[in-house]
Chain A
Amino acid sequence: MSVRYTPVSWTPFKWWFDAALLAGVALYLWVFTWLARGGLDEATVAIRARGTLAFILLTLALAIGPLARLDRRFLPLLYNRRHLGVITALVAASHAMAVLDWHFAYSPTPPWLAVLVSEPGVTQWPGTPFIPFGIMALLILAVLAATSHDFWLAFLGPPLWKAIHMSLYLAYALVVAHVAFGQLQAATQPGLAVLVALGAGGLIFLHLAAALRGEAWTAIAAPEAPWLIVGHARDIADGRAVVMRPAGAEAVAVFRNGQALSAISHLCAHQNGPLGEGRVLDGCVTCPWHGFQYRLEDGRAPPPFTEKVATYRLRLMGDQVWLDPRPNPPGTYVEPLRA
Chain B
Amino acid sequence: MNDEFFIGWQKRPPPRLGRFLAMVAGGLVLGMAALGLALGSADEPGGPDFAAIGAGAALPDTAEMSGVVTLLPYPVLHRADGRPVLLGGDGKRGAGIPPGLDGQVATARGYVQQRGSIGMLVLDAPPVAERPGTPPPVQALGRWRITGEICDGKCAAGSMVAGTGLAHRACATLCLSGELPAILVSAAPVFGQSFMLLAGPDGGPLPETLRPLIGLRVSMEGALEWRGNLLVFRADPAAARTP
Contacts and interface: CB of A to CB of B under 8 A. Distances in A.
Interface of A: 9, 11-14, 16-17, 20-21, 23-25, 27-36, 38-41, 43-45, 48-49, 52, 56, 60, 72-77, 79-80, 102-109, 114-115, 118-121, 124, 126-127, 130-131, 182-183, 185-192, 195, 278-279, 281, 286, 288-291
Nearest to B154: A106
Interface stretch (B42-50, B52-60, B71-79, B189-197): B42-50
Contacts of A34: 40
A133 to B, nearest CB: 13
Those 8 A-B pairs whose CB atoms lie nearest each other, nearest first: A39-B46, A191-B42, A106-B91, A31-B36, A79-B8, A24-B32, A35-B40, A291-B7
Interface stretch (B171-179, B198-206, B228-236): B171-179
Contact of B32 (A13, A36, A56, A106): A56
**SS of A interface (majority):** helix
Interface stretch (B12-20, B101-109, B125-133, B134-142): B12-20
Given A73-B20, A127-B216, A27 B32 contact: yes
Interface stretch (B62-70, B157-165, B219-227): B157-165
Contacts of B35: 28, 56, 195
Interface string B8-45: 11111100010011001110110111011111111111
B161 A30 contact: no
Nearest to A29: B36
A195 B28 contact: no
A300 to B, nearest CB: 18
B162 A114 contact: no
A289 B166 contact: no
Contacts of B41: 35-36, 191
16 contacts: A11-B10, A25-B32, A29-B36, A35-B36, A36-B40, A44-B161, A73-B2, A107-B174, A107-B175, A115-B170, A120-B173, A120-B211, A124-B212, A131-B170, A289-B8, A291-B10
A205 B25 CA distance: 22
Nearest to A109: B174
B213 interface: yes
Contacts of B2: 72-73
A140 to B, nearest CB: 21
Contacts of B162: 39-40, 44
B80 interface: no
A127 B166 contact: yes
B213 to A, nearest CB: 7
Nearest to A106: B91
Contacts of B7: 281, 286, 288, 290-291
Interface size on B, as a range, is 35 or more
Interface of B: 1-2, 5-13, 17, 20-21, 24-26, 28-29, 31-33, 35-47, 90-93, 160-163, 165-171, 173-175, 177-178, 211-213, 215-216, 242
Contacts of A44: 160-162
B24 A107 contact: no
A294 to B, nearest CB: 13
A279 B1 CA distance: 14
Nearest to A43: B160
A118 B170 contact: yes
A120 B170 CA distance: 9
Contact of A13 (B11, B26, B169): B11
A43 to B, nearest CB: 8
A12 to B, nearest CB: 6
A331 B87 CA distance: 77
Nearest to A60: B28
Contact of B6 (A31, A75, A106): A75
Nearest to B176: A118
B215 A127 contact: yes
Contact of B36 (A28, A182, A186, A279): A28
A25 B33 CA distance: 9
Given A32-B39, A44-B161, A182-B167, A16 B25 contact: yes
B8 A291 contact: yes
B155 to A, nearest CB: 9
A47 to B, nearest CB: 8
Contact of A27 (B33, B91, B174): B33
B12 A13 contact: yes
B212 A121 contact: yes
Contacts of B93: 107-108
